[in-house]
Amino acid sequence: MSTLPFDPLLAAIFAPLAVALAIACGLPKRFSVKLAYVGFGLPLLLALHVWFYYGTAAQTHGYAFLTSYSTGLDSLGIGLKLGLNGISLPLFVLAGIVGFAAGLYAIQSGAERLKIYLMLLLVMQGGLMGVFASVDIFFFYFFHELALIPTFIMVGIWGGRDRNYAAMKLTIYLTLGAMLSLIGLIALYVKSGAHSFDLIELRRVIAAQPLEVTVQHNIFGLLALGFGILVSLWPLHTWAPLGYGAAPSSAAMLHAGVLKKFGLYGLIQIALPLLPAGLIQWSHPLAWLAVVGNVLVIGFVTIAQRDLKQMVGYSSVMHMGYAFLGIAAGSTLGVGGVVLLMVAHGLSVALMFLLTTSVYHRTHTFALDEMGGLAQKAPVLSALFVAATFAGIGLPGFANFWGELTIFVALWKFSPLITILAVAGVVISAVYGLRAAARVFFGPATPEFAKIAAEHPVSDLRWSERLPALILLAALMFIGFWPKSLSTALDATLTPAPAAQVGAVK
């Protein structure tokens, strides 16, 4: 049992926010950077702490570490209620790890206006911890937006090419997605008759009196559309490669790695248990969109990319397709696979964005045609990049493997045809992943790269860059070799014992 004298979840949310506030109040740069280590480190430590003690912690209504705080809107059924179950625990840990890595990478990046950059990242980090710790779906949404706003600002100010256009497009797409899902959540609030945003209360009310089937269809459709935009479901994905292409690396790491999982998490945590009939209605359209659009079409688009960062952006859109397939399959196995894949993808895509930026600092271009032969000059970078590529493809030994494998197994029961198409996607991701690695690192150096290398001497990864990369890789392999560290808790939440179900109804 956890023995901390304070609520670890609340502390993990407010530590980064407090540091951000301190920086905003005009802390000198030297202290700001030191304090930022605390702001990024504390959530990680607390996340590891709750991960370690989750199995032995006392559970109330299926949640460990459950606490609630009033914010003055109790009469409307809104209150800050924090807790972790088997679905949110892996993502909470993911947010802690990726946040720490992104923070470390940002601190060493030497960005202009570093203080404000760190401040925004810290706000994002606080929001991310909050998203997955919230049991109240109002605060779940609220923390998501809190994390989203800094993304827009960071793309707009520190972004690369087309940053103004990218920031605007990102803002409008994601606002639309967020508004649609908000309406869906309000629909749940009103139609369930619970008049509470508390997920536990909602579950209790809906278990006692399930929603009408048509209502379930409509709300699920609304949520799938809204969350779908946020998770870049084809054909509403166009913001993602553009946004990630322009975003500064730490922002892309946090957004693609963690924040984007908000929509999937919402579908799993809220829509599936509360709107089972909705899933049955929508699972086939959703699965076909995901497999044809995200996996195959975007897969081929990814192969065609000539820009390394765009390629990573598109590949992340493609992998979201697998997650939607797992959700469409609907079984415990499929959904569990999605959660594992979310964690694995979060770690691997963050690692990929980090390494891509490190490559850029050495080649001064993202154009694949102008690179080559970097492995001779930066062996560590190339080894890490190849490892990240393997993880992305889903080779055994990395966490991604377990996610994709379980999704495919669950999907076979749902539709063998879709499964075959989806498995073909693995070949696609092997093609673009390995080709990119080969282009960048192996073969002879192109004349362009030779020229750049002559102007700017190329060095291998510095330790300040290596450390965050190694943390991410270690987490990927840890889960890859020991998936049980996450799946035990996941299993317990996804398959409640009959007795627990009866208890939930009462």
Partner 1 sequence: MDISVLQTLASRNLWGAITPEILLGGLALVLLVIELLFPKEHGRIVPVAALVGLVTILGGVLFNAPSAYLNQETFNGLLVHTHGGQVMRVFFLLAAIMVCLIARVSLAKQTLPRVEFYHIVLVVTAAMMLLAQSNHLVLFFVALETVTIGLYILVSYYRTSLTLEAGLKYLVMGALSSSLMLFGIVLLYGVAGNPALPAHTAQSMHYGQLAAFLAANPHNFLASIGIVLVLAGVAFKIGAFPFQIWVPDVYQGAPTPVTAFLAVSSKAVGFTALLALAGTVFASYAWLVAPVLTFFAATTLLFGNFAALTQHNVKRLIGLSGVSHAGFLLLGVAAVSHAPMAVGAIYFYLFAYLLASFAVFGVMAHVAGTNDADQELDHYAGLAKDRPFLALVLALGLGSLAGIPPLVGFMGKLFIFIAAFQAGLYGLLAIAVIGVVVSIYYYFGWIKAAFFETWGKSADSPAHPERTPVDFVTGFALSALALAVVVLGFYQGPLGSWLSGR
Q: Token digits for 154?
A: 């960071």
Nearer to partner 1, 3 or 75 (CB): 75
Q: How distant is the alpha carbon of residue 306 from its chain centre?
A: 25
Report DSSP letters for 223-277, one per residue.
HHHHHHHHTT-TTS-THHHHHHHHS-HHHHHHIIIIITHHHHHHIIIIIHHH-HH
Q: Token digits for 270?
A: 């809220």
Q: Should residue 167 be labelled a site residue for partner 1 when binding is judged by CB under 8 A?
A: yes
For 42-144, strand residue ranges (E) read 59-60, 63-69, 80-84
Q: Should residue 215 be labelled a site residue for partner 1 when binding is judged by CB under 8 A?
A: no
Q: Report in angstroms how near the CB of residue 479 gets to partner 1 at its nearest.
A: 32
Q: Cα(329)–Cα(341) distance, rounded to whole angstroms?
A: 14
Q: Cα(370)–Cα(388) distance, rounded to whole angstroms?
A: 21
Q: Which one of the spans 42-50, 145-153, 329-337, 493-501 is the region binding partner 1 (CB under 8 A)? A: 145-153
Q: Should residue 162 be labelled a site residue for partner 1 when binding is judged by CB under 8 A?
A: no
Q: Which one of the spans 43-51, 141-149, 260-268, 416-424 is the region binding partner 1 (CB under 8 A)? A: 141-149
Nearer to partner 1, 142 or 220 (CB): 142
Q: Report in angstroms how near the CB of residue 331 gets to partner 1 at its nearest.
A: 32
Nearer to partner 1, 85 or 171 (CB): 171
> Which residues in 412-423 are b (16+ Cβ under 10 Å) and which e?
eebbeebbebbe
Q: Which one of the spans 167-175, 265-273, 361-369, 408-416 is the region binding partner 1 (CB under 8 A)? A: 167-175
Q: Report in angstroms how near the CB of residue 75 gets to partner 1 at its nearest.
A: 5
Q: Do residues 302 and 428 make contact, with C-beta atoms less than 8 angstroms apart?
A: yes
Exactly one of 48, 58, 179, 424 binds partner 1 (CB under 8 A); that residue is 179
Nearer to partner 1, 150 or 392 (CB): 150
Binding mask 112-131 for partner 1 (x = CB under 8 A): -x------------------
Contacts of 5 (CB under 8 A, 6+ apart): none
Decide: helix, strand or coil at residue 66.
strand
Exactly one of 71, 209, 495, 501 binds partner 1 (CB under 8 A); that residue is 71
Length of the chain as a residue count: 506
Q: Is the dihedral of CA 310, 311, 314, 319 positive or negative?
A: negative
Exactly one of 65, 142, 402, 408 binds partner 1 (CB under 8 A); that residue is 142
Q: Token digits for 68?
A: 């609630």
Q: Which of residues 187-206 bind partner 1 (CB under 8 A)?
A: 187, 189-190
Q: Do residues 346 and 265 make contact, with C-beta atoms less than 8 angstroms apart?
A: no
Exactly one of 11, 38, 57, 168 binds partner 1 (CB under 8 A); that residue is 168
Decide: helix, strand or coil at residue 64.
strand
Nearer to partner 1, 155 or 200 (CB): 155
Q: How many residues form the binding site for partner 1 (CB under 8 A)?
A: 32
Q: Should residue 171 be labelled a site residue for partner 1 when binding is judged by CB under 8 A?
A: yes
Q: Should residue 91 be labelled a site residue for partner 1 when binding is judged by CB under 8 A?
A: no
Q: Which of 164, 99, 87 is nearest to 129 (CA)?
A: 99
Q: Report in angstroms how near the CB of residue 225 gets to partner 1 at its nearest.
A: 11
Q: Cα(301)–Cα(238) distance, rounded to whole angstroms?
A: 12
Q: Do residues 327 and 455 make contact, with C-beta atoms less than 8 angstroms apart?
A: no
Which amino acid is residue 164, in one-letter code?
N
Q: Do residues 335 and 326 make contact, with C-beta atoms less than 8 angstroms apart?
A: yes
H or E segment at 95?
A: helix 88-109
H or E segment at 31?
A: helix 29-53
Q: Should residue 145 be labelled a site residue for partner 1 when binding is judged by CB under 8 A?
A: yes
Nearer to partner 1, 72 or 498 (CB): 72
Q: Which one of the spans 182-190, 290-298, 350-358, 440-448 is the region binding partner 1 (CB under 8 A)? A: 182-190
Q: Should residue 157 be labelled a site residue for partner 1 when binding is judged by CB under 8 A?
A: yes
Q: How far is CA 229 from CA 74, 265, 288, in A?
A: 31, 14, 16
Nearer to partner 1, 164 or 495 (CB): 164
Nearer to partner 1, 129 or 342 (CB): 129
Nearer to partner 1, 33 or 149 (CB): 149
Q: Which of 300, 446, 431, 444 is nearest to 367 (CA)?
A: 446
Nearer to partner 1, 90 or 177 (CB): 177
Nearer to partner 1, 79 or 373 (CB): 79
Nearer to partner 1, 76 or 417 (CB): 76
Q: Should residue 496 be labelled a site residue for partner 1 when binding is judged by CB under 8 A?
A: no
Exactly one of 91, 104, 111, 146 binds partner 1 (CB under 8 A); that residue is 146
Nearer to partner 1, 194 or 388 (CB): 194
Decide: helix, strand or coil at residue 24.
helix
H or E segment at 198?
A: none
Q: Should residue 156 be labelled a site residue for partner 1 when binding is judged by CB under 8 A?
A: yes
Q: Which one of the spans 67-75, 202-210, 396-404, 433-441 is the region binding partner 1 (CB under 8 A)? A: 67-75
Residue ranges that bind partner 1, judged by CB under 8 A? 71-73, 75-76, 113, 138, 141-142, 145-146, 149, 152-153, 156-157, 163-164, 167-168, 171-172, 175-176, 179-180, 182-183, 186-187, 189-190
